[in-house]
Amino acid sequence: GRFADSAAAAAAAPREEAASRGEFRDRRLSASLRQHRPLLTSAWRSEARSGPAPGMIFGDLAHGPYYTIASFLDARTLCKLDAACKLTRSLNRTNNGPWFEMGCAAYFGMEVDGLGTFQPEDSDGAKHAEGLRLDWKGRYGNFREQARMFREPFSAAEISAVDQADEIAYGRCKLRIDILAQGVVRGAAQGVYLEVSVAANPDNVSLAIVDFEGGGCSSVTFSPDTGAVIRERKVRESPRKVEGSYIQPLASITSGQGFEGSMGFYLCRGQLAFFRKPFVSDAAWETTGFVTDLSWAEGKRLTPCLAFRDTGAYSVRTTVVGATPPIAASQSAAAYNEANWRSLDWDAGDEEDEAGEEEEEDELLAQ
């Protein structure tokens, strides 16, 4: 027992000595602080008057970290940052800066009339940004405005009146199949989502995508009121003959009335899906799922458009041009089974023959 007590005392001695040294050091530090407090207070007041000591400044972030930080900001926040500081305003507009990166992501796979793709292309179609002196914030704003607009005779983002039956309103934004085939932005799959709001509809309006820009004669149309998707191809101009087929992934909802609500399409990895949400209480987004690929399309450009069946006072405008649909879409197994598509061929020549036969019958009856 005595040996154990001696060993314990020997082990405790260094700890007590260390604690004693620490306590003595703390007493010396406290005394030193009390002694030099007037000098430290004077130094702190001097620094407050003259600014911080030389070291890293905000501008030093421009050599790398700033662009990583700014990549997490949205357009509204970037605008506020532009207004707050001349340095950040200049950095945000540079090649490969925040506005450039945001525009490339937001308008990936799109081409706007008169503007081309967001990142300009060479004559051989290669994209480049080096050496360009562009205002990327201004270009982003132009794309945001022009991508929502329709071509003549409407030349606006909203259509309020249709003066001709069977009118087609083509969008100024085109979809580039060749770019979208790459399908990857910042390591993730990305497509194009376009949404249209229909606030007033006296008759019928449908959303379609056509391949006329590449010399084709085919289209895919979504009827939001019936929930049907229609594929058509013109095989003869005169007399007009159209070969078509349709499938109805969604139920009919309007009972003969014009659809009022939001409708859109999503094109991703060469597959096309449609969406709708009527302006009624408790309505939720619905999707057809991916119902078709692009094997029907010719060329490398597709044009979104609206098809109006009759004249009247409408209120239709493009509300979203982006990369994310309102709900996720998966491939429709039924739509990728050709047996589920019903024939919808139309031949103007046959109608003329039938009309002629009816006229002959009327003449015979009159005699």
d(CA 200, CA 316): 7
Nearest 10 degrees: Cα torsion 248, 250, 252, 257: -110
pLDDT value of residue 129: 54
Lowest mean pLDDT among 16-30, 127-141, 249-263: 16-30
d(CA 126, CA 19): 72
Q: Which of 18-27, 37-46, 339-348, 349-358 has the highest mean pLDDT?
A: 339-348
Nearest 10 degrees: Cα torsion 145, 150, 155, 159: -100
Indicate the pLDDT class of residue 351, thresholds 50, 70 and 90.
Answer: low
pLDDT in tens, 100-118: 999 988 999 999 999 999 9
pLDDT value of residue 37: 43
pLDDT value of residue 58: 66
145 neighbors 78 (Cβ within 8 angstroms): no
pLDDT in tens, 132-159: 678 899 999 999 999 999 999 999 999 9
Indicate the pLDDT class of residue 172, thresholds 50, 70 and 90.
Answer: very high
Chain mean position to CA 70: 19
**Span 74-99, average pLDDT:** 89
pLDDT in tens, 258-290: 899 999 999 999 999 999 999 988 899 999 999
Q: Are strands 110-112 and 271-278 parallel, antiparallel or unpaired?
A: unpaired
